[in-house]
Every structure is written in structure tokens, then in C-alpha cells.
Amino acid sequence: MNAFEMAQAQFDAVAARMKLDKGVADLLRWPLREFKFSIPVRMDDGSLRVFTGFRVQHNDSRGPNKGGIRFAADETIDTVRALAMWMTWKCAVADIPLGGGKGGVIVDPSTLSVSEKERLCRGWMQQMWKHLGPRQDVPAPDVGTTPQMMAWMMDEYSKLVGVYTPGMITGKPLGAGGSLGRTEATGFGVTYCIREAMKHLKMDPKACTASIQGFGNVSQYATIGFTELLGGKVVAVSCWDLKDKKAYTYSKKDGIDGRFLLTIVDQYGTIDKEAAKKAGYEIEAADAWLYKDVDVLIPAAKEGQITGDNVGKISKQVKIIAEGANGPVTIDADKEIQKRGILDIPDFLCNAGGVTTSYFESVQNDMNFYWSTEEVLKRLDDKISVAFHAVLDMSLKEKVYMRDAAYLVSIERVVKAMQHRGWI
């Protein structure tokens, strides 16, 4: 699966429905700027290794580009293009004044020492710093990167420009310009969307169950949010095992304790298998999470996980799919989900909690004044709830699938910004 081709196909379908001018559509279906560069890093053994890095800036008509930096062995320029494009729509649908960007490095970060990761982070920044900044492009963490890595990058940027500039990157640790509530933000944003969807469908969250793919940051707090904020029960999570180089599903019929799992998971989302067994968790096949008899499915790992081949095996009990990951549902799968009447909360709405709170972090950096956790999460809840209902209202008004409705809302806002600025 090519993620960028999928992102373009999704856009093309809605652009045709909107009868968007061909020139405007051509402008939006490709990034405005792309960077590909080599990063030489001196390894701990004295050898020199050269890594390939990327940064894509899709559209900044509504404000500075915004988007994470992903460290992954399977990273490609097309993946980065797709994620940058989705970030444009995500910022627009959440109605925050930012555009879409994304970055990456082709590397398995688990194979690097701490000092090698620091040198790679600083090397990435040395290649890109002239094209970044609080009013140009603001990176953030993504798969394979951490708050500590963001702090190294911010420090390197500040050295290069000669001014302490915490607002040039988000997702930083507390005490280094980070925001309270940022850790929970994406997973809680998923939870807020599910809550609003359940209100619409008249479902009682306390009587509902969920199954989740992944156990990185998004899944961790979607698990905690679903149980603690909604009162529901999560019966399964799946995650990649770095040691075994394969994925497993961890399930428990009486409900998973997300707080406990946080104590036995590493920074890459790998659950300690032996500790889970001792705690009574059943360990199943990688895709077992997808076929559970639950009310809500939350794919929150990587793109292309629910496909035309496996969507037909999803339980008839499922009423909601909440896309915590970027691009987890393929176009073929969309057709079946729509036919079955499952309410799918599209990725760039469902996981917009992260970029929204990153925006809050930048605002706090600019003010040099920081909010409490309660204030951050209250503002986040308000933003995500308004965004969800804007998309739901569009879906009901135009009688279209939720993903198409989200595109209609976001494309309209981006086009309007380009018109105001005289680009089109």
C-alpha cells in the first residue's frame, strides 16, 4: 500500500464532489515543498554512518506548517508526503491556525544508543534549521521519537540561530518548554470523539467494550481514557514486540488495566510479555484485536491495517471505528464499513488531539506562561468536540460518509484561506 496514493485518492474523490477547480486541486494534492537530505553520524564504535532524512511541507496557507518527525526503518518519502497532507486537513478540521508538515528518518531507533540518537537528532536539525521556526514550520514527535529527542532538536536549533526558541518544536519534556496534558492529548482526543459518537448513536459508554491496535502513546491513553473517562471496558490491545520482531494481542475478558500496562511497556510500545502473562493476560495472534466482539475498534498503530481483505471479518457488534492512527483504513475497507453503517471517525479528526495540544504548547511558549493540566485538557475537549460536531453535521447535511464530510470541512477552510491570501 502506498500511503500517499491513498491520501491523494481520498482527496480526489472529495475534490470531484466539490467540483473544485482543477488548478486548485492540483495545488492541494501535492506538497508545496519537499526536502531529502543525508545525515552523517559518528557512531559509538567510531564508524561513520549516513542516514536519509526527509521533511515535507504540504500547505501553509492557514499558518506555519506543523507535523511530527518519524524515525522508522520502513520510512519513505511517500509516507511522509501522505502524513504531511493529512496534517493539513487535521489542522483545518480542528480549526487551528497551522498547516501540514511531516518529517522522518529511515532508521530503527531501537538499534541506536542514547548518544547515537542524540547525534542523529542534532544532525537532522543541522540540515533543516533554515526552513523551520515558530512562524515557518514546527516539528513534533511521532512514531519512534520522544520528548527527549525534541529537546535535543530544540537545543540544536537554539544554538544555530543564537536565540533560545522553545516554540520551534513541540512535544518537549516538562521543564524544557513542554506542556502539561501533552502526553495524554492524542489518546484523550480519541476518547472525546468516541464519547460524542456514542451520544449521537445513543450508546451507553459504561455498557460498551473496545479493542485497540497498538500500545504506543496514543493507544495507552485511549485505553486509559476509554476506561476512566467513559467508564467502558477495553478487552484487548495489540503491540509490536521488538525482541521477537512480531506483534501480539494482549487480551483480558474482565478488562485491561491501562495504568498497569504502562508499568510494563518500553518507550517503543513493547509490552513485557512475561509480566503480562503473570498478570493473567492472554497472548494471542497479532490480528486478534480486530476480530473481537466489541462495540468500538480503535486502530492506533500504523497505516493500512484495516483492508478489503480483513474488513469482512470484523464482528457485527462493532458500531464505531475510531482511527487513532494515520491512514489505518484503506479505500477498499471504507466501502464495506460504509455499507455496514459503522460510524467511522476519520484519522485527521479522531487523532487531532495531539496537534491541537501541540498548538497550545506553542501558544504557551510564546506567552512564556503555562497552563494547568486541567486547563489544557478542558481546552482540548472543547476544540475536539466542536470539530467532531462540525464533521457530523456536514455528514448528516450532505448525506456522506464521515471521512468525506471531514474532507469537505477541511478543504473548504484551506481553499478559503488561499483565496484570502490571493494564492488562487
Express each pLDDT in 95-147 by its tens digit. Answer: 999 999 999 999 999 999 999 999 999 999 999 999 999 999 999 999 899 99
* Cell numbers describing residue 99: 498547516
End position of a domain, from candidates 350, 370, 390: 350
Q: Which domain holds residue 288?
A: 183-350
Q: Report, as an integer, the average pLDDT of 152-179.
A: 97
What pLDDT score was predicted for residue 211? 98
Domain co-membership, 155 together with 91: yes
pLDDT of residue 390 exceeding 80? yes
41-64: average pLDDT: 98
Q: Are residues 70 and 198 in the same domain?
A: no
Q: Are residues 159 and 261 in the same domain?
A: no
**What is the average pLDDT value for the chain, to the nearest integer?**
96
Instruction: Say if residue 54 is in the same domain as residue 130.
Output: yes
The whole-number average pLDDT for the span 402-408 is 96
The pTM for the full model equals 0.92
Of the candidates 102, 117, 172, 302, the residue annotated as catalytic is 102
The Cα 324–Cα 129 span in angstroms is 30
**Residue-wise pLDDT tens digits, 243-259:** 888 999 999 989 999 99
Query: Which residue in the block uniquely carries the three cell numbers 511521532?
Result: 142
Q: Does residue 112 sit in the same domain as residue 210?
A: no
Residue 158 and residue 242 in one domain:
no
**How confident is the model at residue 77, as a pLDDT?**
97
Average pLDDT over every residue of 345-369: 96
Average pLDDT over residues 398-402: 96
**225 — pLDDT class (breaks 50, 70, 90):** very high
The C-alpha cell that represents 274 in the structure block: 512475561
Q: What does the pLDDT read at residue 323?
A: 98
User: Could you confirm whether 102 is annotated as catalytic?
Assistant: yes
Residue 93 DSSP label: H
Q: How many CB atoms lie within 10 A of CB 8?
A: 19
- Of 201, 77, 87, 211, the closest CA to residue 139 belongs to 87
- pLDDT of 224 reads 98
CATH number, domain with residue 220: 3.40.50.720
66, containing H or E segment: strand 65-72
Q: CATH no. for residue 422?
A: 3.40.50.10860
Output the pLDDT for position 195. Answer: 98
pLDDT of residue 292: 97
Average pLDDT over residues 369-374: 97
- Say whether pLDDT at 240 is over 80: yes
Query: Into how many domains does the chain fold?
Result: 2
Task: Specify whether the CB–CB gap between 115 and 105 falls below 8 A.
Answer: no
Q: pLDDT value at position 267?
A: 81
Given 350, 375, 390, the domain boundary residue is: 350
> What percent of the chain clears pLDDT 70, i.e. is strictly above it?
100
Q: Any idea of the CA torsion for 201, 204, 210, 215, to the nearest 10 degrees? A: 100
Partners of 251 in the beta sheet?
A: 236, 282
Q: Is the pLDDT of residue 380 over 80?
A: yes
The string of pLDDT tens digits covering residues 285-318 is 999 999 999 999 999 998 899 999 999 999 999 9
Q: Is 299 found in the same domain as 260?
A: yes
